[in-house]
Amino acid sequence: MLADYLEECFGRMDWWTLIRNARLNGQTYAAFPNILGTPVNPAFVKAVWRVFDNMTVAQHINDVTGPNKTDEFYYCLTLGELWTIMQADWPLIRDMFASDAALGFTFTKTMFNHTMRVIKETRNELFHSNPIKERKKIFEACERILNGLQFHLGDYDHDLGAAQYVRVSPTVARAQRHVIPAR
């Protein structure tokens, strides 16, 4: 959604290559008061710049290097980087979501940040093999983001409800050397 939205804003999907190339040519993020004629908050450019500064995974570097790129940049973002970029220019990003009138509430930057914080904390719980502490809270946060993007969580729930899970039995016998992952 963000890739398509920013393509609409900037007029091309690979807008981020301008920042990548400027960085490689020794410029600073201050060289971008706008991107292809669209005014942007310096914090937005700085957040994108920082992604390139911190990119260390060889596959990600390879994915965003060279000509003929489109949306590869977005696949290299962590949830935290995505959140930082989006909140860095809230007036620009806010229009990606449904209007306050359509939502029935005011979707402020504060609400967005709170929602993303809940999602990120839950992501961290899952990544570290911990149980989700507050399921209702994460459900509401996901529902708020999806609703803002004009999707309904119930549609996904319906699709998941029709999915069938078949457990595959292990083929390696459990041995004394096997340990349970730390929690």
Tell me the backbone φ, ψ of residue 157, rounded to 5 degrees.
Answer: -60, -40
Q: How confident is the model at residue 182 (pLDDT cuts 50, 70, 90)?
A: low
- Other C-beta atoms within 10 Å of 63: how many? 15
Q: Average pLDDT of 121-129?
A: 93
Token pair 């319906």: residue: 158
Distance CA 147, CA 153 (A): 8
The pLDDT of residue 149: 94
pLDDT of residue 153 exceeding 90: no
Assessment of whether the complete model's pTM goes beyond 0.85: no
Distance CA 149, CA 97 (A): 5
Helix axes 153-162, 135-148, angle to 10 degrees: 120
